[in-house]
Structure 1
Amino acid sequence: MKRFCIHTMLFFGAALCAYGQVDTIQVARDYKTMLVFPSPYDFAVNGKELNFLESFPLGSNSPTARNIVLLIYNDVAPDKNDYTNYTVYTKDGLAYDFILELVDIPEKKRWSITLPMADNKNQMVRSAMVRQSQENGFDEPMRTMENVDAPRHNFSTSSQIGELGNEGNKKDEEVSQPVTMELYQKDKKEYIRRRCFYNQFNKPKVARLFDRSGRVFLWLNGVYYDNNEIYLQFRIENKEPIDYDLNFLKFSIATNYRNSSSNQKLDHRPLFQYKVPKRIQGNSENHFIVVFEKFTLDRKKVLVVDMDEDKGNRNLSLPIDHYLINKPLSF
């Protein structure tokens, strides 16, 4: 038994010494470059997503199709030389880092991505070590390692924002861990928090939907759906020199003003709020995400976002139409 444990530790120790590598993927205008990952694609971070375009196989029910990403360069982009960073997260929580480079003809048009190329595989190996040790009765040393590496969280239970509470003052490095369905089933709060962390700075997906008071703007940047939750991504801009202190942020479902003479509002509490600011300093902006349990609206209803200024009158009210709520994007 001891010999088996020693061999296991040596195997995983060797794996921990390996590092993820960064490959340069050549992308062209007239050729599609194929990336085949060892597990299904989850989401990606693309430094120039308007230039380096990604797509996926269509019309296939094969499980392998979920592991494939197709890359091509935007034909209308004027650049002759271009490159950017590209990170792909797969469903198992692993991350793969690449550099995308514009070329005339790719030297390699099909890439088979392997597990050793993952940048964060050390975290997954540690988890495997913990499971292996516990299965063989060596609990305490591995529990110590697991407690050191586990992300920390401290959610409030404010009645104003639902059962999962508010994000609070947490550092980003405490959140930057894999996002998996296993985590969702085990710790839903932590799963949602990590989803918010990875997507808080997504490029706007909604065309110019905002409300303003003077030179203070509240923008809706995107509406996303994942598992059983709807994520609303916001940006607030304060282009005035005076700081904006937030009194409250309130959500309600209301009758569409255009379709009814009456205006009835029903409070709609979020499940979770991520980095909602208390103060927006002058000439600055903040990004935040608000998460709801899954819901839909009929064509006569809107979701209204009311933002009230403390000791001020720069109040904002942003109606979000039913078609945005009912047709969210996927992460």
Structure 2
Amino acid sequence: MKRLILLWSMGFVFSAQARTIKKLDTIYANSTMTTALFFPSEIKQGITGSDNFIFTYNREKEQNLGLLKAINGIDSNLLVITTDGKVYSYILKYSEHIEDPNRFITGNESIGHIKQIQEKERVSNSTISITDNKDILRKSCKSFLKLPEELNIKKKTGNLKLSLKNMKYQGDNVFLLFEIENKSPIRFDYGFLRIFKINGNQKRNASYQEVQLNPIYVDNKPIQIVPNTKTKMVYVVPKFHLDKSEKLEVRLQELNTTRNVVLRWK
């Protein structure tokens, strides 16, 4: 429901056609095969309801190809909006065996279409401006900070401690709540915090790989952390998934010194 509200806030509403109840088809996916979905028009937006299903498409250059993978878990759904305004919705299920990993979707599978809200109620050019987008992310971060903390993954190096307190998937983004604690008698001057997906061991494995997850928004980034205090900050990064062999690595570095903390998870 929250994701539909987000779509409305971006200046879209469903037309009367979308109100017609239509039985949804099921698409199967797993972790060993990539299910390719070919839509009749280029994909504008695609959202899955659960993070055990990953739907990827080209966000830089609009294409009609979407790729679906999954890990074993609960059933979910997929909502796709194409550039011609058509809306497609499917039930997603995990299956160990997939007979045909390719599906060519026809226009008559659409459950409806969207139209722009007119005049004063619409957002110009049916997109959200950079300023408005940041405002939405800022408000989302403030709400995220109020949620109960579900994680306490921590790493202490010397008198510095870095903790991952919460992680939530929302649409195409992941919100991560970090806490930095300075128990030293010396002020900590914040340099940077970087997040990576890593595969393998850098010292032992020649196939070691790392991919940096660049933030699209950072809320409450500190400048300094005075002695015996702690602060929280929220990082918003594009949606990602960790395979069994992958780990999340967070590197906190002080400005102009060698003080740092490296936290690894999974």
TM-score range relative to shorter protein: 0.3 to 0.5
Give the number of the structure with larger relative contact order, counting CA–CA contacts within 8 Å between residues 6 or more apart: 2
Which is higher, the Rg of structure 1 or of structure 2?
1
TM, length-normalised to structure 1 = 0.39
TM, length-normalised to structure 2 = 0.48
Question: Which is richer in strand?
Answer: 2
